[in-house]
Amino acid sequence: SIEHLLSAFVFQDLFKSLTEFKLPMYIMNGVHDYQTAHQVAYEYYEAISAPKKRFISFERSAHTPFYDEPERFMQVVREIIAERRGAL
């Protein structure tokens, strides 16, 4: 995927090009993430519009909360699935 997606995201200002979504948006971000800085991820979350959006912070994680906090990550995923099932 890096071959096809890298330029689409690295060389684009998502704050200008991708802020409106017609589907729910869930951003999960580790507080200690240096690849996608927590503050920048939150600022992007604030800039987007979506019918439903939620920002989930992982306090003991960096870029891979599914490895760093697998139990909490799965709990959040289950909550989102249950929430979306109820929205159908």
Give residue-wise pLDDT tens across range 55-71.
999 999 999 999 999 99
Cα separation of 27 and 82, whole Å?
17
The answer to pTM > 0.75 is yes
How many alpha carbons lie under 13 Å from residue 43 in its C-beta half-sphere?
A: 9
**Each residue's pLDDT tens digit, 18-28:** 899 999 999 99
